[in-house]
Amino acid sequence: MTLPIVYSAEVSKAMADGAAVVALESTIITHGMPYPANLETAREVEQVVRDNGAVPATIAIIDHKIHIGLEADTLENLAQAKDVMKLSRADLAVAVSNGRTGATTVAATMICAELAGIDVFATGGIGGVHKGAEASFDVSADLTELSQTAVTVVCAGAKAILDLPKTLEVLETNGVPVIGYQSDDFPAFWSRVSGLAAPLRMDGPEEIARAHKMRATLGLEGGQLVANPIPEESEIDAGYLNPIIAQAVAEAEAQNIGAKQVTPFLLGRIVELTEGKSLKSNIALVKNNAALGAKIARALKDL
């Protein structure tokens, strides 16, 4: 059986030319940001990848196919679509076989990128170990995926809505290299620092590209997590944000929000409670990651 993959015209040409390609996820569009900011951001992030010398491949599941790169009208439809599934490893195949419309999380985007031969993926934040996980067992499948799928993922760390020390522990147990980019501290999404040490540090795209290759050479399965701090001017003060996060987490508990709904609920509530400040920061950090992702993808091509 041939793979159910379709490439956009732009990505298809890039692949044929051997150009650098950067994968982008779609859950951030459908479940991570409100319309129309989600659509504007998706377009701008794609443009940042191009401006940095690579080709963007936004990934989504539509009509029995894994789409690697979305045409302009497809992206526009997805950004406004209702009833889009939030797909991870568990439900990816069912969504494709049943012809559902699905957005890919970090885990599902990694799987699709690897199938398509794309080595680098840029996003905002990864899923992690949720606060209270000792009772809820809510640990994102993103962490397991990083241990088994050979894609370098550029993020801004993990959100402070998560239990960051536990998230780092699980990554370490799973054998995932967590690389602070030009930073000794593990960044916390809206903040440049979490107060936790980044397990590894690298200062340039070439170094990261070489390590990516070396994992393959050594036969180590899994990817790398690059944690790229949010640009200073877009940071949100933790003293202001922490009580807001605590309130959003408490509301989620009180309303029995569980499973896949937790992350979208918290992100949405925090946008409301910060009167859009968190959304502005989120957009800035995704663009920052897209630029670094493009540089890493180019460095990989140059090796």
Phi, psi of 273 (to 5 degrees): -70, -25
CB of 286 to ligand PSU, least distance (A): 8
Take residue 33 and report the two structure tokens written for it: 């940001």
Count of residues that interact with ligand PSU, criterion CB under 6 A: 17
Is 228 one of the binding residues for ligand PSU (CB under 6 A)? no
Interacting stretch for ligand PSU, rule CB under 6 A, among 62-70, 134-142, 204-212, 273-281?
A: 134-142
Is 138 one of the binding residues for Mn ion (CB under 5 A)? yes
From the candidates 10, 25, 145, 235, give the one annotated as an active-site residue: 25
Is 260 one of the binding residues for ligand PSU (CB under 6 A)? yes
Residue nearest to ligand PSU (CB): 32
Mark out the alpha helices in 85-150 (DSSP H runs): 92-98, 106-116, 133-136, 141-148
184-211 in b/e burial notation, b at 16+ Cβ within 10 A?
ebbbbbbbbbbebebbebbeebbebbeb
Pairing of strands 152-155, 224-227: parallel
Interacting stretch for ligand PSU, rule CB under 6 A, among 11-19, 56-64, 140-148, 164-172?
A: 140-148
Q: Show the beta-strand stretches assigned E in the chain.
A: 5-7, 21-24, 55-62, 65-68, 85-87, 102-104, 120-122, 152-155, 178-181, 200-202, 224-227
| For ligand PSU, the closer CB: 31 or 295 | 31
Is 168 one of the binding residues for ligand PSU (CB under 6 A)? no
5-42 in b/e burial notation, b at 16+ Cβ within 10 A?
ebbbebbeebbeeebbbbbbbbbbbbbbbeeebbbebb
Out of 11, 14, 21, 25, point to the residue binding ligand PSU (CB under 6 A): 25
| For ligand PSU, the closer CB: 266 or 294 | 266
Is 263 one of the binding residues for ligand PSU (CB under 6 A)? yes
Asked if 116 and 68 count as a contact pair (C-beta separation under 8 A), the reply is yes
Asked if 152 and 227 count as a contact pair (C-beta separation under 8 A), the reply is no
From the candidates 159, 277, 287, 295, give the one annotated as an active-site residue: 159
Residues composing the chain: 303
Residue 129 interacts with, from Mn ion, ligand PSU, none (CB under 5-8 Å by kind): none
Whether 277 is a known active-site residue: answer no
CB of 91 to Mn ion, least distance (A): 13
Out of 56, 102, 125, 187, point to the residue binding ligand PSU (CB under 6 A): 125
The residues in 280-299 that bind ligand PSU, with binding defined as CB under 6 A, are 282
Is 106 one of the binding residues for ligand PSU (CB under 6 A)? yes
Cβ-Cβ contacts under 8 Å for 273 (sequence gap 6 or more): 244, 247, 248
Whether 86 is a known active-site residue: answer no
> Amino acid letter at 40?
E
| For ligand PSU, the closer CB: 39 or 141 | 141
Asked if 213 and 301 count as a contact pair (C-beta separation under 8 A), the reply is no
| For ligand PSU, the closer CB: 32 or 177 | 32
Asked if 223 and 201 count as a contact pair (C-beta separation under 8 A), the reply is no
| For Mn ion, the closer CB: 119 or 138 | 138
For residue 161, give the 3-state DSSP assignment. Answer: coil
Asked if 25 and 107 count as a contact pair (C-beta separation under 8 A), the reply is no
| For ligand PSU, the closer CB: 30 or 209 | 30
Residues that bind Mn ion (CB under 5 A): 138
Residues that bind ligand PSU (CB under 6 A): 25, 27-28, 31-32, 105-106, 124-125, 127, 140-142, 260, 263, 267, 282
What are the residue numbers of the active site?
Answer: 25, 159
